[in-house]
Amino acid sequence: MTKSEKWKKINKSIKERPEVQDYKNWEELPPIPISLPIDGSIGATGDWRTFRPVIKEGCNSCGICWLFCPEGTISRKDDGSFEIDLRYCKGCGICAKECPSNNIEMVRESDMKDG
Amino acid sequence: MVEAQQDFIQERETKIIKGNEAAAYAAKSARVQVISAYPITPQTTVVEKLSEFADNGEMPGTQYIKMESEHSVFAAVIGASKAGTRTFTATSGQGIFYAHEMIHWAAGARLPIVVAIASRGPAPPWNIWADFTDVLSQRDTGWMSSFCASHQEIYDEILMSYKVCEDHEILLPKFVAYGGFILSHTSKPVIIEDQDLVDKYLPSLPSEEGWPHIWMDPKRPMMFGNLIMPSGFYYEFRMKIHDAFIQAKEKIKNATKEFENIFGRHYGNGLIQEYRMDDAKVGVLIYGDLALQMEQAVDDVREEGYKVGMIKLRHFRPFPVEDIINSMKKVEIIGVIDRATAFGSQTGGPVSGEVKSALHEINGAPKVLSIINGLGGREVSLEQQKNQLKMLVKFKETGELPKDMIHGTLWDGLLEVE
């Protein structure tokens, strides 16, 4: 298999997508890196967070926070309520600012029980 | 994806056309699929001619995109090339500088884009005439670059460039530069080649699957050129670009040889082209349109009994170090003539500095005299070039340098108003 056929095969097949560790040296690398859309391809960016958004009890599940979250870390659960994926939430606070019923509170991580 | 169709066939034909039109015809012959365009003097008539072709149905299936700036022009060809198409555009001077960010991106993404450059002097003071500082200032962007000395060479070099750029071992973009107005706006006979022969010479257009390393598929979104942490392979990906450049030297030589076999036009070994160097005692290295007139100067000075020769530099990147060393070893004195500036460098000229570093620590290397002339389109006459050659002969025979050298470089043809 030529080098270019190898790159093509790797790029075409999700299953055969190698981990970066599978490349031993520069000669084995393709000409440009490609990343497939997987959750958190750059790592657990939730580590960057100083303030954590906490959804309070009065939330009426309007979905505005879900619409505004720039990182797509808010998702709707089966019961219609919303949850925030804290592995990737950077704590920007846009959800709290946009919440029409002021039901998202930004709490300093060090003040959280598990923080 | 747009695919070129077979319903317009160019037959071999000699046309009296301007240099810019030769560039446009080359893009047409190469069956370029996406052209992005923004006007800038002296390049404008390249993309004007292409819009004419596109509008007349002479480039079926080709997308012609009008952009709002050179930055966008390069962004457009980058996107189109990523999608797996053969792309082309043209620009000049300030346009290159504005697109500089995208120029780096195209090389880093390893996209085989070919761009014609009708070179002009950088501003200020405003200047639109021949001066290669614009393209040479892109030295470290990861683009290959070459110079054309004639109208025919513009057409031929663009075809050869696609051949090299699209090679799967290379995958690099390339500038094809020629002097603004001197070549871009003058007319000469240019042979436009038979479409079948060009198709035979060039690699086939990229398939729906695009290039081997990069393409777009809406059903399978991915990110190209993503962020890499310092501990990742960023350093290695950059190193690979240099490796591709070194490999490109051999590919350029092969592409030039194959071009000669099919079309019968000779361009040296592709990287450099010697003119009467074999028994020369004194030589010059020169690039761009002034090389054509220098052939005449060499002939004339030889008639006066001096054994002079010329090396035409065809490629600046990759820089043909080995060929320059081998060719220059034939002479004792070599003048390197720049029509461009590299302020604050050892010689003031970008190519003379490169030549000096190439010859460093080489046994039997000639003495290098750096010369700068013709900046901003200043006329360089045949007489002036003959005097440059005779000055070099005098330097060899007597060791005497011109009195008016400035910081070790001869800035030839500075105005002196009485």
pLDDT for res A14: 63
Q: pLDDT tier at B8 (50, 70, 90 boundaries)?
A: low
Same domain, A31 and A84: no
Q: Identify the closest residue of chain A to B222 by CA–CA distance.
A: A36
Reported as a single tens digit per residue, the pLDDT across B121-166 is 999 999 999 999 999 999 999 999 999 999 999 999 999 999 999 9
User: What is the predicted ipTM?
Assistant: 0.81
Q: Is 90 exceeded by the pLDDT of residue A106?
A: yes
Cα distances (angstroms) measured from residue A111 to each of A50, A52, A107, A114, B259: 10, 10, 7, 9, 73
Chain B residues with CB inside 8 Å of A31's CB?
110, 171, 213-214, 237, 240, 244
Share of chain B above pLDDT 70, in %: 98
Measure in Å the smallest separation between the Cα of A35 and chain B Cα atoms: 5
Chain A residues with CB inside 8 Å of B214's CB?
31-32, 34
pLDDT for res A16: 61
Q: Can you give the residue range of the structural domain that contains A98? A: 45-111
Instruction: Report how many domains make up chain A.
Output: 2
Chain A residues with CB inside 8 Å of B233's CB?
20, 23, 26, 29, 33
Same domain, A30 and A79: no
Q: Identify the closest residue of chain B to A8 by CA–CA distance.
A: B212
Which of A8, A34, A37 is facing B224, going by the closest CB pair?
A34
- Higher-confidence residue: B408 or A37? B408
Q: Is 60 exceeded by the pLDDT of residue A20?
A: no
Q: Check A36 against B222: CB less than 8 A apart.
A: yes
Q: Is 50 exceeded by the pLDDT of residue B1?
A: no
pLDDT for res B6: 53
Reported as a single tens digit per residue, the pLDDT across B291-324 is 999 999 999 999 999 999 999 999 999 999 999 9
Give the CA radius of gyration of chain A: 20
Which of A29, A32, A37 is facing B221, going by the closest CB pair?
A37
CATH code at position A89: 3.30.70.20
Q: Supply the CATH classification number for the domain B272-411.
A: 3.40.50.920
Q: Check B233 against A4: CB less than 8 A apart.
A: no
Domains B13-263 and B272-411 agree in fold: yes
For chain A, the residues whose C-beta falls within 8 A of a C-beta of chain B are: 2-5, 7-8, 11, 14, 20, 23, 25-26, 29-37, 41-42
- Listed in sequence order, the DSSP H helices in A13-107 are 64-68, 94-98
Same domain, A64 and A9: no
Give the list of residues 6+ apart from residue B339 with CB closer than 8 angstroms, or none.
B130, B131, B132, B179, B287, B288, B290, B372, B373, B374, B375, B380
Measure in Å the smallest separation between the Cα of B169 and chain A Cα atoms: 8
Same domain, A57 and A99: yes
Q: Which of A7, A10, A11, A14 to mutate to test the interface with B (most CBs of B within 10 A)?
A: A11
Mean pLDDT of chain A: 86
Q: Is 50 exceeded by the pLDDT of residue B279?
A: yes
Q: What does pTM read for this prediction?
A: 0.89
Q: Check A31 against B240: CB less than 8 A apart.
A: yes
Q: Check A4 against B232: CB less than 8 A apart.
A: no
Q: Is 50 exceeded by the pLDDT of residue B2?
A: no
Chain B residues with CB inside 8 Å of A33's CB?
224-226, 228, 233, 237
Q: Is 80 exceeded by the pLDDT of residue A3?
A: no
Is residue B399 exposed (0-12), middle (13-18) or buried (19+ Cβ within 10 Å)?
Answer: exposed
Give the list of residues 6+ apart from residue A98 with CB closer than 8 angstroms, or none.
A64, A65, A68
Give the list of residues 6+ apart from residue A84 with CB closer than 8 angstroms, or none.
A53, A55, A69, A73, A74, A95
Reported as a single tens digit per residue, the pLDDT across B61-86 is 899 999 999 999 999 999 999 999 99
Q: Is B171 on the interface with A (CB under 8 A)?
A: yes
- Chain centroid to Cα B338, Å, comes to 14
Q: What is the average per-residue pLDDT within A32-57? A: 85
**Domain segments of chain B: what residues?**
13-263, 272-411
Q: Is 50 exceeded by the pLDDT of residue B176?
A: yes
Reported as a single tens digit per residue, the pLDDT across B243-255 is 999 999 999 999 9
Per-residue exposure over A4-23, b if at least 16 CB sit within 10 Å of its own CB, e if not: beebbeebeeeeeeeeeeee
Same domain, A32 and A51: no
Same domain, A89 and A56: yes
Chain B residues with CB inside 8 Å of A34's CB?
214, 222-224, 226
Same domain, A64 and A12: no
pLDDT for res B7: 57
Contacts A–B by Cβ distance under 8 A:
69
Measure in Å the smallest separation between the Cα of B171 and chain A Cα atoms: 8
pLDDT for res B59: 93
Q: Which of B167, B209, B222 to mutate to test the interface with A (most CBs of A within 10 A)?
A: B222
Overall fold of domain B13-263: Rossmann fold (3.40.50)
Same domain, A14 and A53: no
DSSP B238-300: HHHHHHHHHHHHHHHHHHHHHHHHHH---BTBSSEEEES-TT-SEEEEE-TTHHHHHHHHHHH
Q: Is B213 on the interface with A (CB under 8 A)?
A: yes
Token readout for B41 is 């003097």
Same domain, A78 and A100: yes
Same domain, A22 and A58: no
Lowest mean pLDDT among A12-16, A70-74, B174-178, B371-375: A12-16
Same domain, A92 and A57: yes
Measure in Å the smallest separation between the Cα of A114 and chain B Cα atoms: 29
